[in-house]
Amino acid sequence: MSNFNPPWLTKPPVILSYGIAAAAVTITLMIGWWMETRFQSAAHVSLFLCAVMISAWFGGLKPAMLAVALSVLAFDYYFLPPIYSFAVEIKQLPRLFIFALSAVFAGSLTAAQRSAAESLRHARDDLNGTLQELQRTNEALQAENTERQRAEDALHRAQAELAHVTRVTTLGEMIASIAHEINQPLSGIITNGNASLRWLGGDPPNLDEVRDAARRIIRDGNRASEVIARIRALSKKAGTAKERLDLNQTIQEMITLTIGEVRRNGVELSTELAADIPAISGDRVELQQVVLNLIKNGIEAMGGIDDRARELLIKTESDAVGRVRVIVRDSGTGLNPLNMERIFDAFYTTKSEGMGMGLAISRSIVENHGGNLWAVPNDGPGATFQFTLMKYD
């Protein structure tokens, strides 16, 4: 916004200021002398004060004092007896003194007002400049925030894509274990179905055994359905939908899915799931992905161990501030202390066939849930991975 400075607030050059003062006093003298001789009007005092005020307003204090001096001399020479002389009668001295004092006061006051007006104008200009600068800064910050939000959204989408790819890749590696888990209830259904036919064909039919077999068929059917539902949930590509979760149940579901691979690799899986841990708020599939990655990580860490038992412990506990901790401890080859933090970097891996994304995605998921994921070496063989989550509010 442009600033408009009125001409009466624009201070003229110094020489012009003194010229304005002299001209104002001269014009005042001419008008005052004309009114004195023509109308016998004593308006010259007010006119001289006006000349002083005009000089102060346009030129400041120094031109005002010049106008005061000229006005006092003109007043003395033309209007105080004896006229046309700079001599002053004794009885006229108070009048001259009061006039001079009034002129000085009027000039000083007008100069102060002029100075205050200029200060206000400069302050207004500075304020306008500051406001414009703040507006430009605010616009820049808004643009930066918008760009940062776009980057964060793109990062979240990329993380979701990577998590989905990792889940699907993991599922491909677990097909044998999944088939085993589904085949068990299907075999039970077939066995109980054949037994039911035999009992129905008896004479008389054994209806009690048939009812028990039917219940077992329903149980095995539900078990197969649950396994399929968990597989579909794990492979499904969906956004984060947080809900109230029983973390122990969430872990048990993943253990059911991975138990075949655990057994196939000769791993002894044990759990210590605390019964008193509070519920948490989170996305079931994403947290299952974290548990799945840590279980697979522990199994792979013990892949080359032959001189001791391959033990994998999954433990839950809570602390005094309401956080829930999940601990996954293995008896594998352990961790290099120099690489404790690098193992969570994207694309960093110590495995010949690994992508280096499992732990990076897991840490991202846990942090998006307001928690932390870290690793520590065991006192004995192996390593411990653990993460914390806040309780449900």
- pLDDT tens track for 269-299: 999 999 889 999 888 878 888 898 899 889 9
What's the mean pLDDT in 356-368? 80
Q: Higher-confidence residue: 176 or 217?
A: 217
Q: Which CATH number fits domain 174-236: 1.10.3470, 1.10.10, 1.10.287, 1.20.120?
A: 1.10.287
Which residue type occupies 330?
D
C-alpha to C-alpha distance for 163 and 293, rounded to whole angstroms: 11
Give the up-direction half-sphere exposure of residue 293: CA atoms within 13 A in the CB hemisphere: 31
- Spatial neighbors of 105 by CB under 8 A, at least 6 apart, are none
Q: Are 326 and 316 in contact (CB under 8 A)?
A: yes
Residues 165-201 pLDDT 10s: 666 655 555 555 556 556 667 777 888 888 888 888 8
Q: What is the reported pLDDT for 1?
A: 42
Residue 17 burial (CB count, 10 A): 20
Q: How far is CA 105 from CA 55, 68, 142, 267, in A?
A: 13, 10, 54, 103
What's the mean pLDDT in 145-166? 72
Which residue type occupies 121?
R
Class of domain 240-393: alpha beta
- Spatial neighbors of 287 by CB under 8 A, at least 6 apart, are 245, 247, 250, 365, 369, 389
Residues 93-108 pLDDT 10s: 888 888 788 888 888 8
Q: What share of the chain is helix, strand, coil (3-state, %, to 5)?
A: 65, 10, 25
pLDDT at 155 over 80: no
Q: What is the reported pLDDT for 325?
A: 93
C-alpha to C-alpha distance for 302 and 330, rounded to whole angstroms: 7
* Two tokens, residue 124: 């207004």
Q: Which residue has the tokens 């809570």?
A: 318
What's the mean pLDDT in 35-63? 76
Q: What is the reported pLDDT for 162?
A: 59
Q: What is the reported pLDDT for 171?
A: 57
Q: What is the reported pLDDT for 240?
A: 53
Break the chain into its structural domains and give their ranges.
10-135, 174-236, 240-393
- Spatial neighbors of 188 by CB under 8 A, at least 6 apart, are 216, 217, 220
* Two tokens, residue 2: 């442009």
pTM of the model: 0.46
Long-range contacts of residues 139-144, Cβ cutoff 8 Å, at least 24 apart? none
C-alpha to C-alpha distance for 135 and 68, rounded to whole angstroms: 48
